[in-house]
Structure 1
Amino acid sequence: MDPKKKAITAAVVGTALGVGGLVVVAMPASAGDAPKLPQVSAEDLVQSVATAKPVPFDGTVTVSNDLGLPKMATGAIPGASALGVDSAQVFSDGAGKTKVSLTKGQAQETIIHNGNTVWDYDSKTNSATKTTVPADVATKHKAAEGAEGKGADPSTAAKELLAKVRESSNVAVDGTATVADRPAYELVLTPKPSERTLLREIRVAIDSQTRMPLRLSVLSNGTTSPALELAFSKIEFADQSPDLFAFTPPKGAKVTEKQAKIDERDKALANEAKQATKVVGDGWDTVVTGKVPADLMKQKQAQGEQKGPDVQKMLSRFAKRVNGPWGSGYLFTTKVGGAVLTDDGRFAAGAVPEQVLYEALGAK
């Protein structure tokens, strides 16, 4: 099998990659003749996606990516480790309960979100963590989503992208397609001429019956195949058994129980980052700028042992050294975007040419 076409359940969320900080990857649709469906306008199709009610389903999510990420970067960039997942199965009851099974080599991780309880089980270590999320924490911080990015699917990713770039795009319906054996409309968004972006178009295959996005493809300039594509290869819309969302640890498993809470130090770091973060531009040429908290830029030491990554050493291995009126730092690029991290901890990221990143660093 082509190594680029691996299965995954997650949308990778990180400011270093993609439109407005969202990067997603996935797979080609099933082959076959384009299905015949009633005509629909682009505006009506977009509106129907936004207003569609969630429905119960189970599906397999597959991934194809041609980002051009350095091999070691997938272990160093937040969220990018999801690119190493081999297969995934996603279950949803349509009312908030979810189960995600991720396979990587011989190991499997299972994440179940049932009400205010989140189970995370790792077969490799035969260990499970049960997290109870107090109602106030879940409401204010959506902490019940579990591990970073692992609850997302093509539908979630597509809806977020539609909301982000709709107003700065030319939107059209470009025929139909068959995805996961389902007839779907092909919605295409292309940037308006005023947009400065590395992306050529975003294609969303929308289920003709449920209006649920089944496939999301991101194409960059100068390429004929998607740089990123996230999709269902199989999906069934049907009520799910409540037993799917209950978890009993296997015999001998080490179980850790904890209650989700807001760590004051983490809260302070988050507030510091939020206050220093701003958005330059909008739509396709959005650039997120800010400053990484000083604590995160430092290599942590404890009792002579390294407790955190050596950021400078890590960057020097897969990023290019750059400088300009804005200062000096490292430039990281992929086919769909890039990011600059300066020596003093400032950053700029977006799906734009590097010059636009530099301009954003200097914006007041």
Structure 2
Amino acid sequence: MDPKKKAITAAVVGTALGVGGLVVVAMPASAGDAPKLPQVSAEELVQSVVAAKPAPFDGTVTVSNDLGLPKMATGAVPGASALGIDSAQVFSDGAGKTKVSLTKGQTQETLIHNGNTLWDYDSKTNSVTKTTIPADVATKHKPVEGQTADPATAAKELLAKVRESSNVAVDGTATVADRPAYELVLTPKPTERTLLREIRVAVDSQTRMPLRLSVLSNGTTAPALELAFSKIEFADQSADLFAFTPPKGAKVTEKQAKIDERDKALANEAKQDTKLVGDGWDTVVTGKVPADLMKSKQQAQGENGENKGADMQKMLSRFAKRVNGPWGSGYLFTTKVGGAVLTDDGRFAAGAVPEQVLYEALGAK
């Protein structure tokens, strides 16, 4: 199926930001006629989006991507596996409890987060993992993938990152998921060196919750990715939705979330070596990949959903281009909305920018 036309139904699911944390979204099938709404300035609309409080809801999100990520790379890039979802449904109480049901081929995975407990049920293996999250761990970690980057969350994060380096305007109205919305448009200022042309956010006229997030790249009219509510209902959710009883015969594994000392050490090492070069739309993240990670095998999704060990060097040779310059030599990985360079000595640079900007960032002191 043509990736430009493949619609993936997800439900407030973490969406892959691709290399360097990039999000792009396009016009969804749920868009309708432009409704008549009271005029509002761009600044007022931005402020109201940022100030809006989460409300209880259940909804379905459509996702369609044309990033150009190969299947194996999609399975290996953190967060990118969300793009392989066929369908999903989400419920949120507006106060932190969520239920997300994901359909992948013939299998279904259900994740329920209720307080300090996370349930994960896999129908393929009829197995359940119950994770108890200590309060101190919960405060140090973000929610798991699949519970965060809905259009509302993703839009707020993007607004915070690029607002100061953008021209912001209200570009009419639209109907998204049968709800009237304002169209907020952010375009990079002329001084920004980026592959992105604009970010469009459809904001619910009543709740000020983003219903659709669209980012388009330069030189193309077709979207690289779509993330939008196709159906949403704002209403209190029953507490029973967030309770879980393992199915009969299911294998249940109980564990307690904890901060792994090895992972903590690797994270601290990476943090010390990471810095941002530039700002706004042409921000490039640079740093050094821990040596252990460079030598490890990443888990990639196979054709039938099975995990396959993917040697880092073999994966780079297959999906990236060999490049070199004054900064050294390594591999260049590109998508329609950005790219990343990984050098032979473990340095990296990633951003929504042309490759020359990545090379310059590698040479920055």
Give the corresponding residue for 2:55. Answer: 55
Distance 2:204 2:253 in 1: 40
Structure 2: tracts of 5 or more residues without a match: none
The match for 1:184 is 181
Displacement after TM superposition at 1:77 (Å): 1.7
- Displacement, 1:309? 3.1
Residue 72 and residue 360 in structure 1: after superposition, are their counterparts in 2 closer, same or farther (change >3 A)?
A: same
- Native 8 Å contact 2:181 2:204 kept in 1: yes
Alignment check: 8 A CA contact 2:12 2:150 kept? no
Q: TM-score, normalised by structure 1?
A: 0.92
1:350–1:12 CA distance, 2 compared to 1 (3 A) = farther
| Distance of aligned partners of 1:209 and 1:29 in 2 relative to their CA distance in 1, 3 Å threshold | farther
Q: Distance in 2 between matches of 1:12 and 1:83?
A: 12
Matched, 1:278 2:246: no
By how many angstroms is 1:71 displaced?
3.0
- Tell me if structure 2 keeps the 8 A contact 1:348–1:361: yes
Q: Is the 8 A contact 1:187 1:205 kept in 2?
A: yes
Structure 1 range deviating more: 243-252 or 5-14: 5-14
| 1:221 equivalent in alignment to 2:222 | no
Cα distance, 1:4 vs. partner?
4.1
- C-alpha distance in structure 2 between counterparts of 1:297 and 1:18, whole Å: 19
Deviation for aligned residue 1:76: 2.2
* Residues 287-296 or 8-17, more deviating: 8-17
Q: Residues 262-305 of structure 1, C-alpha deviation per residue, up to 9 Å, x if partnerless?
A: 11111000000111100101110000001110001114699999
Q: Tell me: CA distance 1:78–1:65, structure 2 relative to 1, closer, same or farther (3 Å).
A: same
Q: Deviations over 1:136-158 (max 9, x none)?
A: 1111234xxxx435432111111
Gap change, CA 1:14 and 1:243, over 3 Å in 2: closer
CA 1:128–1:8 in structure 2 vs 1: closer, same or farther (change >3 Å)?
A: farther
For 2:11 and 2:293, locate their aligned partners in 1 and report how far apart those are by CA, in whole Å: 24
Q: Is the Cα contact below 8 Å between 1:19 and 1:286 reproduced in 2?
A: no
Deviation at 1:24, TM superposition (A): 5.0
Aligned equivalents of 2:307, 2:118: Cα separation in 1: 30
SS of the counterpart of 1:141?
A: coil
Are the equivalent residues in 1 in contact too, given 2:19–2:339 (CA < 8 A)? Answer: no
After TM superposition, the structure 1 stretch with the greater mean CA deviation from structure 2, 24-33 or 97-106, is 24-33
Cα displacement (A) at 1:260: 0.6
1:333 matches 2:334? yes
Aligned residues: CA RMSD = 3.3
Deviation string, structure 1 residues 220-244 (Cα, Å, up to 9, x no partner): 0011122122111100001100011
Normalised TM-score (structure 2): 0.92
Identical-pair percentage? 93
The 3 A distance-change label for structure 1 pair 27 and 88 is farther
Secondary structure, aligned partner of 2:10 = coil
8 A contact 1:26–1:62 mirrored in 2? no
Q: Quick one: distance in 1 between partners of 2:76 and 2:152?
A: 27
Residues 12, 347 of structure 1: alpha-carbon distance in 2 compared, 3 angstrom cutoff: farther
Distance in 1 separating the partners of 2:325 and 2:260: 38
Cα displacement (A) at 1:79: 1.6
TM-aligned CA deviation for residue 2 of structure 1? 5.7
Cα distance, 1:27 vs structure 2: 6.0
Q: In 1, distance between residues paired with 2:88 and 2:347?
A: 36
Q: Which whole-Å deviations, capped at 9, do the CAs of 1:86-110 have from their partners, x for residues lacking one? A: 1111111011111111111111111
In structure 2, what is the Cα distance between the partners aligned to 1:337 and 1:11? 26
Question: Superposed, which structure 2 residues align to 1:171-320 within 5 Å?
Answer: 171-299=168-296, 309-320=310-321
- Measure how far apart 1:10 and its partner are: 7.1
CA drift of 1:22 comes to 3.6
Q: Describe the shift of the 1:359–1:67 C-alpha distance in structure 2 as closer, same or farther (beyond 3 A).
A: same
Mark the CA change 1:86 to 1:7 in structure 2 (over 3 Å): closer, same or farther. Answer: farther
SS in 1 for 2:108: strand
When residues 207 and 37 of structure 1 are mapped into structure 2, their CA distance, relative to the original with a 3 A threshold, is: same
Distance 2:160 2:149 in 1: 16
Closer, same or farther: CA 308–45 of 1 in aligned 2, 3 Å: same
Distance 1:255 1:9, change over 3 A: farther
Q: 182-191 or 292-301: which moved more?
A: 292-301
Aligned length: 360
Contact map agreement 2:204 2:210 (CA 8 A) in 1: yes
Q: Which runs of 5+ in 1 are unaligned?
A: none
The residue number in structure 1 matching 2:106 is: 106
> 1-side partners of 2:182 and 2:300: how far apart?
55
